[in-house]
Structure 1
Amino acid sequence: MNPTNTSDRAGDGRALPLDPDRNLALELVRATEAAAIASAREVGRGDKIKVDQAAVDAMRPVLGSVSMRGVVVIGEGEKDEAPMLYNGEKVGNGSDPEVDIAVDPIDGTTAAAKALPDAVAMVGLAERGTMFDPGPCVYMRKLVVPGAAADVIDPEAPVGDILRSVARSIGKQVSDVRVAVLDRPRHESLVASILAAGASVRFLLDGDVAGAIAVGREGSGIDALLGIGGTPEGVLAACALRCDGSAIFGKLYPRNEDERSAAIDFGHDVDRVLTTTDLVSGDNVFFAGTGVTDSPLLRGVQFEADRVRTQSISMRSRSGAVRIVDAWHDRERSNLITASGRGH
């Protein structure tokens, strides 16, 4: 993904290099905006399948128009199980660059269906062959910490020790640290350990990618994330964390001997602690997300009389740029709205 053309000129008339990758950042935002707007029409209607399908149907054509040769590494499942954006699907218009794609048209479909917080449309991108392939590994243990804590954390230490290290690194008391945890029965003992250490918990109802990205972000109120969640979601979160300097540590979590054997046969070391760069090793990584419902990361879609308002995040590792994009989409003129149907 190297610049090959020129645009603009310096004061002395010399051509300045054009970085075509900059366009990717905006194009990915357009894809997540389309998914968010389409799925937001199904918010509060109780059908998470319709939420997801609306997002996929809107995102796919936008990704198909982007200048890239992409392969979906993290997608909606295998081809026979997912009609759109399945693992291994080729996306883009066929031109360079060659890239891996991680996509979750809606992280938090149940939350969206119930009009609850934390639903976000997301996509990540990196050089071809640089994303971790989960294979048969559905779940992983995750620890996400701010960048200031990345080099001082022992990810396999007891929970109390981890939280004390996080607190010291960000200049807080442990009692002021808040930890994002998926609200699942499997986390009962984890939550007890967090509370015993003196920290507090921010429960995530559905989907942990937005919670992971919110770690350490100003105003999010989230200082760390802990718990067992999806392995594909861990790779997608790592795309964003490569851009903003926060860190994820993961360890594959086979639920039974069959899953353990399948992971080993696939070539994975189930005892290895995976770092952010293990999950996404590329040097030029992009992430985009658009809020569907409100979350600590982004505001959700708002339908107004003659326009639709979205809030997105655009991130790139090479430049370290993190942008919050507030957009107003005209109901009559926006092709993103037209593509998803004006609907309700």
Structure 2
Amino acid sequence: MVHRPIQQRTPLFAYCLRNVTEAAALAAYDWVGRGDKNAADGAAVEAMRKELNALPIEGTVIIGEGAKDEAPELYCGEAIGLSRNRAKFDIAVDPVEGTSYTAKGIANALSVIALAPRGTMFDPGPSYYMEKIAVPKEAKGLIDPEAPTADKLKVLARALGKPVRELTVFLLEKPRHEKMIEEIYAAGARCALYPAGDVMGGLLAAFPDSGIDMLLGTGGTPEGILTACALRAIGADFMGRFDPQSETERKVIAEFGLGTEEWLMMDDLVSSDQVFFCATGVTDGILVDGVTVEGDFARTQTLMISGPYGERQVLTSYHMVEAD
């Protein structure tokens, strides 16, 4: 049998959008291994904003660099593009996911963006931390977020048709996860522990044959919304619950009207399949290669995902650069 695509679906817009993350990654590359994560982030923010404003869209930053008084560019609520455009989007950005990775010159730093139609992306306000669960499409709708860790693993194993001992769970290696890690070990499954990068972890949990079957644990709320957008397009599942890590954050999100008991499902976090997601490597990683420069050209690699059919591509591009 010859398998053919249902139709040619990948929008040309995805190829325009990747210019945004590629520009940010190229700007951050100058700071790889130089010990200054703020400089890397600042360069990426400036480059990303410039390319975003060149897109034919009317956008609003929902997930950005912070409140307006904290960030001069790509702040939450900032209008992007030209108001005369009909294409209206909510925007989530992380110009450098893994600023410390970039500063130290180690793997898995990314530049990330997601777009969804206006009014369909959840606004988490001042929330900084979120407990997350990400699973592949085979387990969509099957995981009870309130269930014990061992029960979650049993359900996932049945959905994937393999024993629990063959499951691998991605978690951030943080003290807050010590109990959960022990529960995973006790159930017989494996852990893949990383110091940062749970957008990558969520994507790996959704991709077949990645070696990761599930993401669990608490990480950044902005990264959670970005991951939800990508997984919505792929057809996988994601859910999150706000999990403040300080009394100050708990008080602030309560004042904003956010609770800490209720789990938000995929439809709560992003309610449209018409999403676009791009991630460009800053440093070499599991998902994509990082920026490399040889002579007059810089090489980038970008993961592009387009909804509603979950098409994904990895695009390698060569950019002419000016010599120092």
- Confirm or deny: 8 A CA contact 2:57 2:86 kept in the other structure: yes
Q: Report matched runs for 1:18-167 at 5 Å.
A: 22-94=11-83, 95-167=85-157
Secondary structure of the 1:215 match is helix
Shift of 1:266: 2.2
Moved more, 292-301 or 260-269: 260-269
Shift of 1:255: 3.4
- Confirm or deny: 8 A CA contact 1:29 1:312 kept in the other structure: yes
> Unpaired runs of 5+ in structure 1?
1-18, 333-341
Shift of 1:27: 1.7
Q: Which amino acid aligns with 1:271?
A: E
What is residue 302 of structure 1 aligned with on the other side? Answer: 292
Shift of 1:270: 2.4
Separation in 1, partners of 2:249, 2:34:
35
Q: Which amino acid aligns with 1:91?
A: I
User: Can you list the C-alpha shifts for 1:24-59, whole angstroms capped at 9, x where unaligned?
Assistant: 211211100111111122111111111111111111
Secondary structure of the 1:125 match is strand
User: Can you list the C-alpha shifts for 1:225-250, whole angstroms capped at 9, x where unaligned?
Assistant: 11111112111111101110111111
What is residue 184 of structure 1 aligned with on the other side? Answer: 174
What is residue 240 of structure 1 aligned with on the other side? Answer: 230
Aligned length, in residue pairs = 316
Q: Which amino acid aligns with 1:313?
A: L
- Confirm or deny: 8 A CA contact 1:211 1:297 kept in the other structure: no
Separation in 2, partners of 1:93, 1:26:
19
What is residue 5 of structure 1 aligned with on the other side? Answer: none
What is residue 239 of structure 2 aligned with on the other side? Answer: 249
- 2:195 maps to 1:205: yes
Separation in 2, partners of 1:296, 1:174:
24
Shift of 1:218: 3.6
Q: Which amino acid aligns with 1:56?
A: V
User: Can you list the C-alpha shifts for 1:314-343, whole angstroms capped at 9, x where unaligned?
Assistant: 1121233211111122335xxxxxxxxx55
- 2:320 maps to 1:330: yes
> Unpaired runs of 5+ in structure 2?
1-8
Separation in 1, partners of 2:285, 2:167:
18
Secondary structure of the 2:273 match is coil
Q: Which amino acid aligns with 1:212?
A: G
Shift of 1:211: 1.3
Moved more, 230-239 or 293-302: 293-302
Separation in 2, partners of 1:70, 1:248:
24
Shift of 1:256: 4.8
Q: Give the CA RMSD over aligned residues.
A: 1.9
Shift of 1:100: 0.5
Q: Which amino acid aligns with 1:73?
A: I
Separation in 2, partners of 1:258, 1:299:
38
Q: 1:37 to 1:299 in 2, by over 3 A?
A: same
Q: Which amino acid aligns with 1:156?
A: E
What is residue 206 of structure 2 aligned with on the other side? Answer: 216
